[in-house]
Structure 1
């Protein structure tokens, strides 16, 4: 994994990229971030990048940079992102249909009912849930405005999803169905793009963080 500073509408929320090495040795970059020379060299040392994934309609900002750095990799993104980012040459749609290269190694699940159109991944070998904007987990924040925003939303210091952002769920019934499937996975760790990785009681923490949908 690799983190980077990132701002969104004035909020200092950071962002995180997850790197998965498949059994073949091929690497998958999930939610690409800005690539410094050092980070690019670290990734290259790990293996050959075969896939770059933009998992939802918002985590695509650094996709072009990743494609330029690893031109042989296939670029994946939701169907609606293909239309949003016509400047990017997507190779395939990122959905619940897994690519043959990672079938059985990374299990996909699309969160229905949401404007984010995010597809989550579960890595059974490490019992890890890989997500971006499923929940957030800020236990510390030095930026006063962001800290105030998190406290106002009641999610500072605990796993959750800000009340303002809950508006992206237009169909909560369908979202609940997706959450029910998600919680069938026995994950012990949950990677999120914003805040800290959830390493303790991750399954319970994510369940509680999504309780507002029910």
Structure 2
């Protein structure tokens, strides 16, 4: 029993409970906090963003772990029609959601379908995302592809009605007090996670390999003038979105 309690406490220390439930952010915009997710030797909090489009369809960005209760809660908003895999890492929970939402279309970051792990997992990808949003959500959501070396791409989205920028890994904001000391030190020494509201060191390296194109994409994001920024790992930015965006990408734009 003590061991179970310790495990539960560790989950809550790292993550942002309550987990696997809808949390309202703004009109037609929610988040779902989940995790911890194991990545590159770390246990990280992870987050999904949920948007209800004007036609009633529901859009899931970076789906977190699937369970039927969460799916039913989301379906009270409307039918789940879109699953979005926004970069080369955030696709691992797609299969569960595809099974639970067979009518949903899956849209993926460029080159994701070419990754051996994705093919081996049998993930269905219905279309590749570009800098131009598809007609399904183009009236409400803008998007831009941030490229990098080694096949890296991340697609950024702006929910225009709420001026909310939605990223995945290009900004992380892991709160040191929520991480065990060993994890905190490992993250800083290896650069695999960012505790300061910017990209981790390894992503800064790969994005710099296509610096000019990445700068153009980030310039587009800054021009969107977002009020808030939601991302997958750590405490997201509830206010001062544009100022935080400029600060977070100073390593690229300076």
Q: Same fold (TM over 0.5)?
A: yes
**Displacement of 1:151 after TM fit?**
4.7
User: 2:32 matched to which residue of 1?
Assistant: 2
Q: CA deviation at 1:53?
A: 0.5
Pick aligned residue for 1:53 from 84, 88, 93: 84
Q: CA deviation at 1:146?
A: 2.7
Alignment pair present for 1:145 and 2:214: no
Matched with 2:13 is none
SS at match of 2:161: coil
- Larger-gyration structure (1/2): 2
Distance in 2, matches of 1:155 and 1:59, equals 17
Contact 1:12 1:143 in 2 (8 A): no
1:92 corresponding residue in structure 2: 127
Instruction: Tell me: higher relative CO, structure 1 or 2? Use CA pairs within 8 A at least 6 residues apart.
Output: 1
Shift of residue 72 of structure 1?
0.3
Residue 63 of structure 1, aligned match among 84, 88, 94? 94
Structure 1 residue 155 displacement after superposition: 4.5
Residues 167 and 229 in structure 2, CA contact (< 8 A), matched pair in contact too: yes
Equivalence for 1:200? 239
Structure 2: gaps spanning 5 or more residues: 1-30
Matches of 2:148 and 2:113, distance apart in 1: 19
Q: Partners of 2:250 and 2:201 in 1: how far apart?
A: 12
Q: Are positions 1:116 and 2:155 aligned together?
A: no
Structure 2 residue 190 is matched with structure 1 residue 160: no
Structure 1 equivalent of residue 53 of structure 2: 22
Partner of 1:172 in structure 2?
211
Residues 11 and 145 in structure 1, CA contact (< 8 A), matched pair in contact too: no
Q: Are residue 186 (structure 1) and residue 225 (structure 2) matched?
A: yes
Distance 2:246 2:227 in 1: 12
Displacement over 4 Å in runs of 4+: 150-155
Structure 1 distance, partners of 2:214, 2:93, is 28
Tell me if structure 2 keeps the 8 A contact 1:131–1:191.
Answer: yes
- Structure 1: segments with no counterpart, 5+ residues: none
C-alpha separation between the residues in 1 aligned to 2:178 and 2:199? 16
